């Protein structure tokens, strides 16, 4: 089978047979009922998803949820047991990875340590027969793009720091001018400060190039900072898809709420909080999701729901203070400004406004 397009040409190869006429709003990738079974185990269970052109789409979920299996199928490194994968309406389910207009940045980076930075970046171009002067110029452009600079061209990869190696891997992935880039937890081995820097750079790079990025991570912070949309996986299924604000503020269920960070969950029955003598007119039955920043000391302008608490622990986290509260509902978490002066064993009344919370059925 021929590739979808020759290198450095954006348009799809007209020789490919389309399964449908392209629409103006056609997605970059369409997953239609994708499943992957290993014996009786369903690593992916009938997933359907549209990933839009130029989107930064991030997949998160606990270990064993199916994230890596999905990414391997999208990149052509594995085949689904059932279902189809379409690239702008073209069925690429059985197309080998090296014939797809895509590239992968692995967690291990998979750089050639015996080659220079420039040789690593140029590798795919050399395999395609591009003349050396053109390869070199393309490598220079990419090194500038990933904030390394042309003086890195002859440097040994083994002399590069972790962040520099990450940039080399990204430049190498971009060298073949892919339409879609896949990322398998590429920042997981880096220290916190470097990770934060590269998060911003990756997001800026995606916006500058206009490419579609599909990213897998265990880090919720990475997902929230970089993504246009996030897909939450659990037991081989996508349980919720939405913008970072939607997933954080309007989780579909308690699993998503807990997975997306610290949360307080109150059971409600017949408009009343089960653990407190308080009514909640906005919810009849189910669970009320209250994020830590919504839980605050009650004052003269008491919110609709308030309760007594004892400060169990105080954690100062730079610009904010995290409080662990002992209450009739068990241990709750509140976040306050850094100016908060509460101390362990202080008895305080806390509360929240039900209108600022979110309810889920289960």
Instruction: Indicate the pLDDT class of residue 16, thresholds 50, 70 and 90.
Output: very low
| In the chain, where the domains are located | 29-101+178-249, 263-360
Q: What is the DSSP letter of 22?
A: P
Q: What is the pLDDT of residue 353?
A: 86
Its pTM stands at 0.84
The Cβ of residue 111 has, within 10 Å, a number of other Cβ atoms equal to: 20
pLDDT at 344 over 90: yes
| 320-327 vs 305-317, strand pairing mode | antiparallel
Q: What is the DSSP letter of 11?
A: S
Q: What's the CA gap between 117 and 130, in Å, rounded?
A: 18
Q: Per residue in 24-42, pLDDT tens? A: 557 999 999 999 999 999 9
pLDDT at 144 over 60: yes
Q: Which residues contact 122 (CB under 8 A, 6 or more apart)?
A: 135, 136, 138, 139, 175
Q: What's the CA gap between 69 and 73, in Å, rounded?
A: 6
263-360: which CATH architecture?
Answer: Beta Barrel (2.40)
Percent of the chain with pLDDT over 70: 92
Instruction: Indicate the pLDDT class of residue 9, thresholds 50, 70 and 90.
Output: very low
29-101+178-249: which CATH architecture?
Answer: 3-Layer(aba) Sandwich (3.40)
Q: What is the pLDDT of residue 227?
A: 95
Which of 279-288, 320-329, 338-347 is the least confident region? 279-288
Q: What do you get for the CA distance between the two ends of the chain, in Å? A: 48
């Amino acid at each position: 089978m021929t590739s979808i397009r020759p290198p450095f040409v954006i348009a799809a190869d007209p020789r490919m047979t389309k399964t449908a006429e392209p629409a103006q709003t056609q997605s970059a990738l369409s997953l239609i009922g994708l499943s992957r079974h290993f014996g009786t185990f369903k690593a992916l269970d009938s997933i359907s998803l549209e990933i839009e052109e130029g989107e930064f789409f991030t997949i998160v979920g606990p270990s064993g949820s199916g994230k890596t299996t999905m990414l391997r199928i999208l990149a052509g490194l594995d085949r689904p047991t059932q279902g189809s994968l379409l690239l702008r309406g073209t069925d690429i389910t059985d197309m080998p990875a090296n014939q797809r207009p895509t590239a992968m940045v692995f967690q291990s980076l998979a750089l050639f340590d015996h080659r220079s930075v420039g040789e690593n970046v140029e590798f795919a171009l050399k395999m395609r027969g591009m003349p050396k002067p053109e390869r070199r110029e393309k490598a220079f452009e990419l090194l500038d793009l990933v904030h390394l600079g042309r003086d890195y061209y002859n440097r040994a990869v083994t002399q590069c720091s972790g962040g520099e190696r990450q940039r080399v891997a990204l430049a190498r992935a971009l060298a073949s001018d892919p339409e879609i880039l896949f990322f398998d937890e590429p920042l997981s081995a880096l220290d916190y400060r470097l990770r934060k820097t590269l998060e911003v750079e990756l997001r800026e790079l995606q916006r500058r190039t206009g490419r579609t990025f599909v990213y897998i991570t265990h880090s919720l912070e990475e997902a929230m900072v970089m993504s246009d949309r996030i897909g939450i996986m659990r037991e081989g299924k996508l349980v919720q898809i939405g913008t970072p604000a939607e997933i954080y503020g309007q989780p579909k269920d308690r699993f998503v709420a807990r997975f997306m960070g610290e949360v307080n969950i109150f059971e409600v029955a017949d408009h009343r909080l089960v653990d407190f003598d308080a009514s909640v007119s906005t919810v009849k039955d189910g669970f009320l999701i209250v994020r830590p920043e919504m839980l605050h000391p009650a004052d003269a302008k008491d919110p609709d729901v308030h309760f007594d608490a004892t400060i169990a622990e105080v954690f100062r986290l730079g610009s904010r203070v995290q409080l662990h509260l002992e209450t009739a509902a068990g241990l709750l978490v509140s976040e306050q400004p850094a100016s908060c002066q509460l101390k362990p064993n202080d008895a305080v009344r806390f509360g929240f406004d039900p209108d600022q919370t979110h309810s889920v059925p289960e």
